[in-house]
A and B are shown apart, each in its own frame.
Chain A
Amino acid sequence: MKIFLGQLKFDINRIFIRNFSFLFFSLLMPAGFYLLFTKVMITGTGTEVQKFQLTYMGSMIIYSGIISAIFGIASLLKTDRDKGFLCFLQLTPHKTKYYYFSIYMLIILLNLVASIVLQMIAVVFNGVKINFTQVLQCMLIVVIGQLPMVLLGTCLSYLKKQETLNVVSNVIVFPLAIVSGLWWPLSVMPTWLQKIGQVMPTFFANDLLSEVLLGEKLKLTNFIGMIIWIVLGLIGVAVVLRFYRKQELSS
């Protein structure tokens, strides 16, 4: 436990406290988007506006999760590996288990903080009503919904060049956000794109959040969809790791 707490303190300092840009993109940017879209660029009847203020809050929570997982985890793991830190830990008695646990936990915690910050903004600035149970349910969905993203970030961290990682991260994050309806409703997109969007992990998480916030019945298909993505993510990490080791030994 002492080792884990030490690792946590070390990572909090370098990832959050001395890294304002990461907090800005993961926390403040989604909050800014939320305020912009719900206070300035909004039309519709009172009920429609209220519904949009709730569902868009959910979308921005998921968007924050994608940013911290893809840009945060992928870049952090890659940098630590390239700079020999993971190799150093691999040679210590406890290897890398506390390291990975600390990094994943902090990124998920950051997404939980983003979820609370966004809910507070929604309550204070837009007067939306969310009860305690909904807050807890949202947190649970955030944690489960973040897992496929974290695994995807881990896979991306094995890309050889930092430049490639930057390009691939951008190519994934923004289209993924758009296609799964985080920025604009899926209904405004062509049918074929909607079909793609509806099987994305971010769509399942976003849909579940909307159901919780609007007080609707939770669809089992969304849970199944997320579990399938978690399993695919685990398989992806195993395959990438195997490929990486093989490549390392042949060059």
Chain B
Amino acid sequence: MNKIVTTRQLKFSYGKKEVLKNVNLTINSGEIIGLTGENGAGKTTLLNALLGLLPSNGQVEILGGKPGGKKARQKIGSMLQGDMVLDNVTVIEMLNEAASQYDEPLDVEELLQKVDLKKHENKLLKNLSGGLMRRVTFAVALVGNPDLLFLDEPTVGMDAQARKVFWQRIEDLRDAGKTVMITSHYLEEIQQTADRLLILQNGVLTFQGTLQELQNKYKKTVIRFKTKLALKKFQKMAAVISSAQTDAEWICLNSEDGDETLKALVPFLGEISNISVQRESLENIFLKMTNEEELA
């Protein structure tokens, strides 16, 4: 895969406050990247630095050039926080205006259909609901037919239906080979879509990898199954089992390492049924990571 974004020792400060601290990251072509972190962790600042809106220290290469360079501006679409609710402008006028800025834009009519805005095309932006306006902003980000998209909290204010349409469009972008970087507080959505996760904590990139890799780092797993065997057979089966409970025929094992516990269960496979494995959710891992940081 081609490296489409690379940063080395990327730093940025607002006055004396260091917001990004030596961020080293790589984004490959065609990846969907989820960027998450607490409020104030530096996510928006990182996006702004990659877009060339902020002058940063360190090396940043984006689409083979500098952030904010002409090639980058032609090939990058962005959906920043806040919407462009311009007075006296309709949805279709806004999209035509945005399309006119690019050499090879998407067809505005088709785009309106895709993002489910066709029936609102002649409405003034100021008369749209927050969720609809967010969809307009998403359409504006797409209209230039970018290869790389930066989406900052894109689903804030969207209802469930709009969110569904939005994530479908992200899947379409993945199928089209586009690269997308999304920041979001909706961790369960990121978890479902992102190929790789980036976690920023207090300006430091503390994790960069797949969800599986993150879960392996935080291996805590709950394994539940049905059996007629006694609980004690499982309690000392593996050192990684921290606790075990029973409820009628059900046994629930809390394990520090799910993979190790599953391996230990193999000899019992003939006598157990209905096995379910519940790994730590991204949200729980994220909460743990932030708690660890606070304690440190």
* Interface set of A (CB-CB < 8 Å, partner B): 2-3, 6-7, 10, 13-15, 17-19, 79-80, 83-85, 87-95, 249-251
Contact = CB atoms under 8 A, between A and B. Distances in A.
Contacts of B267: none
B28 to A, nearest CB: 22
Contacts of A91: 51-53, 68, 73, 76, 78
Nearest to A245: B55
A93 B74 contact: yes
A93 B103 CA distance: 8
Contacts of A85: 84, 86
B70 A93 contact: yes
Interface of B: 14-15, 51-55, 68, 70, 73-74, 76, 78, 80, 82-89, 93, 96-98, 100-103, 140, 144
A17 B101 CA distance: 23
Contacts of A7: 97, 100
A104 B33 CA distance: 41
B86 A80 contact: yes
Nearest to B80: A84
B85 A83 contact: yes
Contact of B89 (A13, A84, A94, A251): A13
A3 B84 CA distance: 20
A5 B27 CA distance: 38
Nearest to B74: A93
- Chain B binding surface, main DSSP class: loop
A94 B101 contact: yes
B15 A2 contact: no
Contact of A6 (B14, B15, B76, B100): B100
Given A14-B88, A83-B86, A93-B103, A251 B15 contact: yes
Given A3-B101, A93-B73, A19 B88 contact: yes
7 contacts: A7-B97, A10-B100, A14-B87, A83-B86, A93-B70, A93-B74, A93-B102
B14 A250 contact: yes
B11 to A, nearest CB: 13
A79 B54 CA distance: 21
Contacts of B144: 92
B100 A2 contact: yes
Nearest to B94: A10
Contacts of A93: 70, 73-74, 101-103
Most chain-B Cβ atoms within 10 A of its Cβ — which of A6, A85, A93, A94?
A93
Contacts of B78: 88, 91
B77 to A, nearest CB: 9
A74 B261 CA distance: 67
B15 A250 contact: yes
A249 B80 CA distance: 18
Q: 8 tightest A-B contacts by CB?
A: A92-B101, A18-B88, A6-B100, A14-B88, A250-B15, A10-B97, A93-B74, A93-B73
B119 to A, nearest CB: 21
Contacts of A14: 86-89, 93
B100 A249 contact: no
A79 B96 CA distance: 20
Contact of A84 (B73, B82, B98): B82
Contacts of B14: 249-251
Contacts of A87: 53, 80
A13 B101 contact: no
A251 to B, nearest CB: 6
A90 B68 CA distance: 9
A85 B94 CA distance: 10
B259 to A, nearest CB: 44
B44 to A, nearest CB: 12
A11 to B, nearest CB: 9
Contact of B97 (A2, A6, A19, A251): A6
